[in-house]
Amino acid sequence: MSAQQQDAIDQKKKELQRKGEDAQSAYQKRLQEKLGPVYDDIGKALDVYAKAHGITLVLDVTKIQGIVSASESLDITKPFISEFNSKNPATASLNP
């Protein structure tokens, strides 16, 4: 393979990498545009739920590195989802 062919291959690799990075960036931006408002609504509803139930701390274990262990009675996920769905019937049909 000649040096010219190798240069062409390297150039194509760089172009492909840039296009992949651009596509990933566009995907992340679009995802944030669509899910951002949903996450905001859920966050607000979770704050209201916590205050109504005397909860002073809510942990999102999907965002915590490491192992988190607690009594099952402390997990408010299912009760919160039930209450959220009862107040937002359009979302209830989306949950299996």
The parent domain of residue 54 ranges over: 3-92
The number of folded domains in the chain is 1
Other CB atoms within 10 Å distance of the CB of residue 80: 18
SS3 5: helix
Provide Rg for the chain, Cα atoms. Answer: 23
* Per-residue confidence (pLDDT) for residue 80, from 0 to 100: 92
pTM of the predicted protein model:
0.60
Mean pLDDT by 10 residues, the chain (96 residues): 90 95 96 92 94 90 74 86 87 57
